[in-house]
Amino acid sequence: MDKQQKLGLLLSSRLFKKRTDVEVVLNRTTLSWREIQRSQKQDLDIGNSLDAAVSQVVPVSEIVSVQKTEEQHSETSSAHSRALEHNQLFLYAFTVSYVLRASKHQWRCTDVVFLCPDLTVCEQWIRAISDQLSILANRPKSLLVYINPFGGKRQGKWIYDQKVAPLFSKACISTDVIVTEQPNHARNHLETKANLDKYDGVVCVGGDGIFSEIVHGLVTRTQDENKVDLNDSEAQLMPSALRIGIIPAGSTDCICFSTVGTNDPVTSALHIIVGDSQPMDVCSVHHNSSFLRFFVSLLGYGFYGDVLTDSESKRWLGPTRYDLAGVKTFLNHNYYEGTISFLPAEDNMSNPRDKLQCRSGCCVCQQRSSSKARDMMEEKKKSVKDRREGWTVLSGKFIAINTACISCACPRSPKGLSPSAHLADGTMDLILVRECSRIDFLRHLLRHTNKDDQFDHQFVEVHRVKKFHFQPCRTEVSSLEDLSEIPRRAPSDQHAQPHRGVTATPPTAAGPATARSCPIMQFKSVSSAS
């Protein structure tokens, strides 16, 4: 019993599961059960039971719910006859729903039913497990849900109603659901109308576009409430108190894929239920001392911006529109001439080609987070002259100028545009594709679909930066596109800069653009190899 006391033993009973007697043990961190062999049943020693190997162990943090089994379970009839052999009739049961980790980072919700000898034991188990779940403060109890019914294959509402809502209900999470009717519906509602005090988080059902709307709405509202001037590119952004969850139902869902490891609605819903969260950088873009927008995934100038612009008129084609627009843009083979200035990341903890992928517990992001306050103080002490030192300036003709805050992985590009980009380190990966032949550019694009190094070309360079600025030679060809938003023509001369923890923004194409790192929290975890 000493070993169990050290583990925080709360309850232990001999119960019945399917056709088998089982010993069920609950401690402060796990629920476990194991089959009781026939030879052990006469003189079962509960005190030494944990010394034997258990057949199943579930972390309490991954239990979705526990409830009394009101109706006779499908296994009860066989269990009943089996129980009669032991001169015991098990009439009461409770069901534990928990996370089952499947392949390829996917999670599933599965149930186990335990039969009890009497009502008192049944209620005792339900109460004990419920008490442990109530202690988990990171779990949401009330959520505001926005559904984009038009994104991807237009299945957002069906996905939520059929796959997500039943799980939220099972976990006793209350929801207010809003089906968006037009672009920026969610953003405008969050900025001006939503009463956010009663919610633990905001969930978007759709693609990267509606996630961008949620980020803009929440972050903008938070800055307004804290009197932060968004037009000041040097201002430190304040993180939102609410976390954001993504249920993938879009065309590419790269933000979800880059953080969870799969575009599976059930997996994302379960991450939300158990309270998993991951900070992300948000980047801001400025032009002539005016704030333009935030971005959290990829900012594209040139090729990718042109693809998005051309695809917007073909939204009725769904995800196929990107293929058609991509072929057209590739054949056009435009290039853009200009000057890029960027401020390299100062430390040597990581670089864009170190082949290290950001995962849960990433040491780079954790160390950056711990040094955030110190970095902010040092930045404030710098004079205007000091802030201009250390910048690198490049000029030339470019087919594409991209800035990645995350890996931007998706099913079509499993490693992403920048496989070693970090989620919350306050930096961005600036990817420059200089003028080259169509064949060479095609080779570069194809490497995004396999394991080859897409940066291993003489005409491609990548830099990990804190800020960047792009000045095109001709303003009429400049187009700066957040690849998660509806495209817009951007003015020339922009800069971007990252804000760690809330947002991250690097200097970008066209006018001065700055990216700042200010943390937002998402209901999701970055998958490891498990």
Residues 6+ apart with CB under 8 A from 525: 259, 260, 271, 276, 277, 278, 360
3-class SS at 148? coil
**HEC string for 437-467:** CHHHHHHHHHHHHCCCCCCCCCCEEEEEEEE
Pairwise CA distance, residues 435 & 431, whole Å: 13
Of 148, 233, 176, the residue nearest 486 (C-alpha): 148
Q: How many CB atoms lie within 10 A of CB 221?
A: 18
Of 448, 439, 508, the residue nearest 472 (C-alpha): 508
N-to-C CA span, the chain: 33
- Do 517 and 441 meet the contact criterion of CB atoms below 8 Å apart? no
Rg (CA), the chain: 26
Burial of 332 (0-12, 13-18, 19+ CB in 10 A): exposed
The token pair at 471 is 């000045």
Beta strands, E only, 303-448: 336-344, 392-404, 428-434
Q: How many CB atoms lie within 10 A of CB 154?
A: 12
- Do 278 and 68 meet the contact criterion of CB atoms below 8 Å apart? no
Pairwise CA distance, residues 521 & 271, whole Å: 13
Catalytic, 323? Answer no
Pairwise CA distance, residues 239 & 351, whole Å: 26
Active-site residue, selected from the candidate residues 208, 264, 425, 482: 208
- DSSP one-letter code for 508: B
Torsion of CA 183, 189, 190, 194, to 10 degrees: -160
Q: Angle of helix 303-311 relative to helix 320-332, nearest 10 degrees?
A: 130
Pairwise CA distance, residues 13 & 79, whole Å: 17
Torsion of CA 136, 223, 299, 520, to 10 degrees: -10
CA atoms within 13 A on the CB side of 75: 19
Query: Amino acid letter at 221?
Result: R
Q: How many CB atoms lie within 10 A of CB 246?
A: 29
Pairwise CA distance, residues 261 & 247, whole Å: 13
Q: Which residue has the tokens 């805050």?
A: 405
- So which residues are the catalytic ones? 208
